[in-house]
Amino acid sequence: MHVCDLVAGEEETMKNRIWLVAMVAILLFGLIGWTAYGQRSRTTWEYKVQYVPGVRNMSEKTMNDLGSQGWELVTFQAINNEGGTIGAGNYFFKRARAGQP
């Protein structure tokens, strides 16, 4: 082997190391930026439980009024009254906390 071959091999190794360091740096900066963006855009929620007694359901008008205030129905939990009538229940709503996108 000649000295020129050794120098060329060392140059190739150095280039590979520089590319590796550059790729790791790009990956880390991308990961840090993506994580910071995810933290900044996280939505926080507020919740509301509306109990409706008796054998009636929540009216369409009431639900539309809540919807216009930003409330979204998540689920309904039926409750059996002691008298055996069904219809009473809890309506669970959520909306983005004020000041959120």
Query: HSE of 84 in the Cβ direction (CA atoms, 13 Å)?
Result: 0
DSSP 84: S
Residue 3 has pLDDT above 60, yes or no: no
> Which band of pLDDT confidence, cut at 50, 70 and 90, is reported for residue 10?
confident
Put simply, whether the predicted model's pTM sits higher than 0.85 gets the answer: no
CA dist 74 and 26 (Å) reads 41
